[in-house]
Amino acid sequence: MAQGFLAIWSDVDLADETDYLHWLTREHVQERLSIPGFLAGRIFRAEAEGRGRFLIFYRLRDAGVVGSEAYLARLNAPTPWSQTIMPKLKNFMRGGGRILQESGEAAGGYAAPVLFSRAQISNYLAAAGEIAKADRMAATRIFEVDSASSGIATNEKSMRAGDRSFEAMLFLESLDADVLASGLAVMEAEDHTIYRQIFALSRG
């Protein structure tokens, strides 16, 4: 079973969204899945202040893939299309590392990420198992970021302004948005953004 992950958020102006989606679905995700250790990619979308708010989520073989030679080589040699897209991305956040807990193997059509500090991990581990029992909840997962690997400077990163990261994440997936709203209320999460999956691709 995959033991690693990579999560990437960015806002895209509506005027750039079609080109961004074509880049993601016709080049970028396929390119990433050609890297050893990248197993599957999913794209989620939400609306945020008149922009598209996107979450790209990759399943990795293990946490070491985030700092692997093959992945860093790709980050240091972005394609011409990537060089055009990267400066347009706003509110960018990225982190990769290991899966600490996974309740349920399914993938839901709706997802809600809840970010928290490393010091809060034990509290979230206990709560996630209970949330996973709710009707129409597909899965709950908890991730811990490898800050050292996620923070490596690359040519691709230098093209974006204001990159940031996070320490840990609870990832809720369900069959409908209402279930996620209830789970977020239980967690007293400050960010109640709910995303809808729009694209998925697995390595053949």
Residue 146: give its domain's CATH number: 3.30.70.100
Structure tokens at 27: 């080049």
Residue among 169, 167, 179, 177 nearest 197 (CA): 177
User: 4, 66 in Cβ contact below 8 A?
Assistant: yes
Q: pLDDT 10s digit of each residue in the chain, 204 long?
A: 579 999 999 999 999 999 999 999 999 999 999 999 999 999 999 987 788 999 999 999 999 999 999 999 999 999 999 999 999 999 999 999 999 999 887 888 999 999 999 999 998 888 888 888 889 999 999 999 999 999 999 999 999 988 999 999 999 999 998 888 877 776 666 667 899 999 999 986
Residue among 80, 82, 81, 107 nearest 8 (CA): 82
- Look over the chain and give the mean of its residue pLDDT values, rounded to a whole number: 92
Distances (CA, A) of 19 to 26, 64, 199: 10, 31, 15
What is the pTM assigned to this prediction?
Answer: 0.94
CA distance 54 to 197: 10
CA distance 138 to 172: 8
Q: How many domains does the chain have?
A: 1
- Give tens-digit pLDDT for 32-44: 999 999 999 999 9
Residue range(s) defining the domain that contains residue 135: 4-202
| DSSP 8-state code for residue 76 | T
